[in-house]
Amino acid sequence: MPSSNAAYLNNPKPSYPAISKRMGEQGKVVLRVLIGTDGLPQKVEISQSSGYDRLDRQAQEAVMRWRFVPGKRNGVPEAMWILVPINFVLE
């Protein structure tokens, strides 16, 4: 196991699709993200759907643009999978 896990940086929240707001769609998307040794997402998969394709896609697209601090094993950066929850909540 890695000695340290990948960490989030100050990444922007995904924007809420306007049509989803109008239709009252909300939910939690859990993404499985492969973080490369450079801290960039290599692959983003849906681990748990929000129940709405629009919200799931918006979360995936946003996280693909994010940057992370890569996890390390014995002080050496290593690619690893992490789970990233994204909540879409109407206020």
pLDDT averaged over consecutive 10-residue blocks of the chain (91 residues)?
61 93 97 94 97 97 93 88 94 82
Please give the Cα distance from 14 to 55 (Å, whole number): 9
Please give the Cα distance from 27 to 81 (Å, whole number): 23
Secondary structure letter of residue 67 according to DSSP:
-
pTM given for the model: 0.88
CB 31 within 8 Å of CB 43: no
What domains are defined for the chain? 7-88 (3.30.2420.10)
Predicted confidence at residue 71, as pLDDT, reads 84
Residue 77: what residue type? P
| Maximum alpha-carbon separation in the chain | 49
**In what helix (H) or strand (E) does residue 59 lie, and over which residues does it extend?**
helix 53-64
Question: Which tokens sit at 38?
Answer: 């450079």
Predicted confidence at residue 3, as pLDDT, reads 47
